[in-house]
Amino acid sequence: MTKEKSNPNKESIEEFLESFRMASERKQLGLLNVFEERVEELLSLGPSLMSRFDPCSSDWVPGFILQLIHKSDGNFIKNNLNCEDLSWFTAPSEVGFDYSPLQQYLLNESFEDADRFTSSKLRELAGEKAVKRGYVYFSEVELIPTIDLSTLNKLWIVYSRGKFGFTVQAKLLDSLGGRYDKLWPRIGWKKDGVWTRYPKSFNWSIEAPNGHMPLVNQLRGVRLMDALLNHQALKEKT
């Protein structure tokens, strides 16, 4: 590759997209500003923009691109990608749930709304008793269908540059030797021994610490979180 070609601003937008897609995650994160500078070129690709990406994957790159172009042109996804409800990623459900509202919240980086939707769906997936009491009990986690928990996790990952999601939390926990007392401050749920107050003290932005979202009610203690992070759907991905 020539020296000129190594400069992402000298590549055609198609070449840049391909080289970006093949780069390491660390390099990708360092090139996000280039995307922002070249957003008009991305929009000019029209329907072909997303043809190189797989809507079934858990790759955050297309999620970032969708967020970026949606900020610039709120009609682009509907008009060019045949996504009337803005749901470009596949979001299967064993029980027929519609996850398009979650995709819309995450696409718009409305993370607090996305978190509330996720909590609500987890209760519904866990059963009527969880819905009535307003939270999931740890023994009910195994009732949550693998497909649906995988979908919830995937959507958080793809629309957060890989920063948020249950498997992100599980990997962090593993890196900390399974120590929840170390996980809570790492993901911003506890500071100086005090639980972060919900919802106002949480950081509902992309600048939040890795694993900060989605929230599993920390007041329910370790058992709920442990049951969730050890669910078969997440163990397969971690």
How do residues 123-164 score in pLDDT, each as one tens digit?
A: 999 999 999 999 999 999 999 999 999 999 999 999 999 999
Residue owning tokens 């198609």: 14
Q: Provide the terminal-to-terminal Cα distance of the chain, rounded to the nearest Å.
A: 35
Summarize the confidence of residues 103-132 as an average pLDDT: 97
Torsion (CA) 138, 140, 143, 144 in degrees, nearest 10? -60
Question: Which tokens sit at 146?
Answer: 């693998």
Look up residue 79 and give its amino acid.
N
Contact call for residues 185 and 134 (beta carbons, < 8 A)? no
Q: How far apart, in whole angstroms, are the C-alpha atoms of residue 233 and residue 97?
A: 17
| pTM exceeding 0.85 | yes
What is d(CA 12, CA 35) in angstroms, rounded to the nearest whole number? Answer: 12
Query: Rounded to 5 degrees, what are φ and ψ at 185?
Result: -70, -30
Mean pLDDT of the chain, nearest integer: 94
Which residues fall within 8 angstroms of residue 81, CB to CB, at 6 or more apart? 47, 49, 50, 88
Across 93-109, average pLDDT: 98
Compute the radius of gyration of the chain from its Cα atoms.
19
| CA–CA distances in Å: residue 110 to residues 30, 51, 113, 193, 225 | 24, 26, 6, 28, 23
Reported confidence tier of residue 5, pLDDT bands at 50, 70, 90: very low
* pLDDT at residue 218 tops 80: no
Rounded to 5°, the CA angle 216-222-226 comes to 75
Q: Dump pLDDT digits (tens) for 178-187.
A: 999 999 999 9
Q: Is the pLDDT of residue 219 over 70?
A: no
- Whole-angstrom distance, CA of residue 216 vs CA of residue 210: 15
> What's the pLDDT score for residue 8?
74
pLDDT at 57: 97
Structural domains for the chain: 13-80 (no CATH), 107-235 (1.10.10.1770)
Q: Which of 20-29, 160-169, 207-216, 220-229 has the lowest mean pLDDT?
A: 220-229
What does the alpha-carbon distance between residue 160 and residue 111 come to, in Å, rounded to a whole number? 9
Question: What are the φ/ψ torsions at residue 190 (nearest 5 degrees)?
Answer: -150, 145
What are the tens digits of pLDDT across the range 30-73?
999 999 999 999 999 999 999 999 999 999 999 999 999 999 99
